Amino acid sequence: MENSKKIVIEDFDNKVNLEIHLFDAEKGLDFVEKVAKLARSGEFSIKTLLDDLLPLVSLLDTNADRVVKDRLTRQDCYGLFQNPLSIIDLGMEVFEFQMVFIKNSKAFRPLAKHLENIFNIATLESETK
């Protein structure tokens, strides 16, 4: 299992090199609980989810070799990106990378399709088709 993944987010003419990490067990469980509560309430908050997802991201230099800043925040992203949707794209990339946990969980595997529909991401079931 990969513990990190390097990505590039294109923000207009700017390309931002980043590395995504997986949740540790405790924070991952807290995040799943938060998503479940938000799903039940019907009151999703992009900012709330980003506050949990962005600390899993490290900013890399232009060669994607060296960490410039570890554990990004929303505030960091406001200075890093011009397009607010680039921040959401980054959050979606981080969330999608976390799907490795669903692949390894018999209990949550049936939820993969539901999560795919909510977040428009590739999950286990869509990857196997």
- pLDDT 10s per residue in the chain (129 long)? 789 999 999 999 999 999 999 999 999 989 988 888 888 888 878 888 999 999 999 999 999 999 999 999 999 999 999 999 999 999 999 998 988 887 778 877 777 666 666 666 554 444 444
Which residues, in sequence order, are CB contacts of 59 under 8 Å at separation 6+? 16, 17, 18, 67, 68, 69, 70, 72, 76, 80
Domain boundaries of the chain, sorted by first residue: 4-98
* Residue 42, both tokens: 């019907």
**Which helix (DSSP H) or strand (DSSP E) does residue 67 occupy?**
strand 67-69
